[in-house]
Amino acid sequence: MKSYHALIIGGGGTGGALAHDLALRGLKVTLVERGEVTSGTTGRHHGLLHSGGRYAVKDKESAVECIEENLILRKVMPGTFEENDGLFVAITEEDVEYSRLFIEGCTDCGIPTHQLTREQALAIEPNLSPNLILAVQIPDATMDAMRMALRFFATAKHNGAEFKTYTEVLDVEKTGGTVTGVRVVDHRSGKESVINADIVINAAGPWSGKVADMVGVEVPIRPSPGVMLALEGRLCNMVINRMTPSGDGDIVVPQRGLSVIGTSSWVVDDPDNLGLPSDHIEKMYAEGEKMIPAVRKAPFRAAWSAARPLIGPRGADTGRELSRTFKCFDHVDEGVEGFVTITGGKATTARGMAEATANVVCQKLGVDAPCRTREVVMLPHTAYFTG
């Protein structure tokens, strides 16, 4: 079989998962990342392995993707997750009303639920609000955002993929309507060079619109930042979600010895210019303390923002209304051959996004190799540095 060369732009979880999938299918893989791997949104998210519960009422496509990948990743990345489950907590009568829609939505999407009384929930999570009325347990889990993604990178590297970090794509090379490679700058040496490839894949997350502009194709990406607040002390052991439609400060994720509250949502044009609005940080305290009153008094550790790569029209307002699903674009429809974009989705769905994209890539190149990432157990994250 001819060995085709695939070049991936972007070293987040999506690019890493794609490198893993394509390397297993026998392709020569090069990934270029302008910073360190996971230095984009991937290294800055909550660290929640979604059960899909958050999306089960209004965004069922994404909810189904999350629960499917949640179950696969537990098998192929043993030891990565704190399998602590999550609770959706109702603290007002309105929340209780929503819990009926929530359980119905979860059932439709194949997400198991277990309803707990106020007393049962307080027995396992004593810091929950005394206003608690009921809680519903779902299979959320906690992860270290960087280490989870590094398992894709480690395994891909072991299978021959090459990672060029601090290497930024400045332009995409084309002959006629066909993409033939990329022009990059190595930020360590300052040297520019061209890397040729049989196919180029844009996995630049919230930057994927900027990369698409280099080729002259359209990717309807809306970079949508959110603010997160880390407090010292583990205020809960399970992931605590508010029993409401998605909103600001509706989740508290226990991370090692910290509690991370998130998040808000707005849209920006430039993912390199997010800002950190102070009123959003205050909102995290205000909403978080409704679920766990100890939030207000816990010592501050850090606050930061990161941008979701959401797919949606330019008119989108806050990003809340946009689906969390993903999409793979084959730009052949726009008259460009040899260039594919994968964007949208969640860290939780990176493997599934990679499978869908690798199917498109292999079909375009005429490579007949099935996806193996549902079964192959990945190397530990440390193998990225030692392997």
**Binding region for ligand FAD (CB under 6 A):** 9-15, 32-35, 39-42, 45-48, 50, 168-169, 203-207, 211, 226, 228, 262-263, 306-309, 345-348
Q: How far is the CB of 17 from ligand FAD (least distance, A)?
A: 8
* Nearer to ligand FAD (CB atom), residue 105 or residue 205: 205
Q: How far is the CB of 134 from ligand FAD (least distance, A)?
A: 24
Q: How far is the CB of 368 from ligand FAD (least distance, A)?
A: 27
Can you give the C-alpha Rg of the chain in angstroms?
Answer: 21
* Nearer to ligand FAD (CB atom), residue 113 or residue 246: 246
Q: How far is the CB of 322 from ligand FAD (least distance, A)?
A: 12
Evaluate whether 199 touches 205 at the Cβ level (below 8 Å).
no
Q: How far is the CB of 51 from ligand FAD (least distance, A)?
A: 11
Q: How far is the CB of 263 from ligand FAD (least distance, A)?
A: 4
Q: How far is the CB of 267 from ligand FAD (least distance, A)?
A: 12
* Nearer to ligand FAD (CB atom), residue 119 or residue 279: 279
Q: Which residues, 6+ apart, have CB-to-CB distance to 278 below 8 Å?
A: none
Query: What is the number of residues in the chain?
Result: 387
* Nearer to ligand FAD (CB atom), residue 132 or residue 197: 197
* Nearer to ligand FAD (CB atom), residue 158 or residue 327: 327
CB atoms within 10 A of CB 276: 12
Q: Are strands 199-202 and 5-9 parallel, antiparallel or unpaired?
A: parallel
Q: Return the C-alpha torsion angle 264, 271, 343, 369, nearest 10.
A: -130
* Nearer to ligand FAD (CB atom), residue 46 or residue 147: 46
* Nearer to ligand FAD (CB atom), residue 182 or residue 243: 182
Q: How far is the CB of 93 from ligand FAD (least distance, A)?
A: 29
Adjacent-strand bridge partners of 142? 48, 82
* Nearer to ligand FAD (CB atom), residue 42 or residue 259: 42
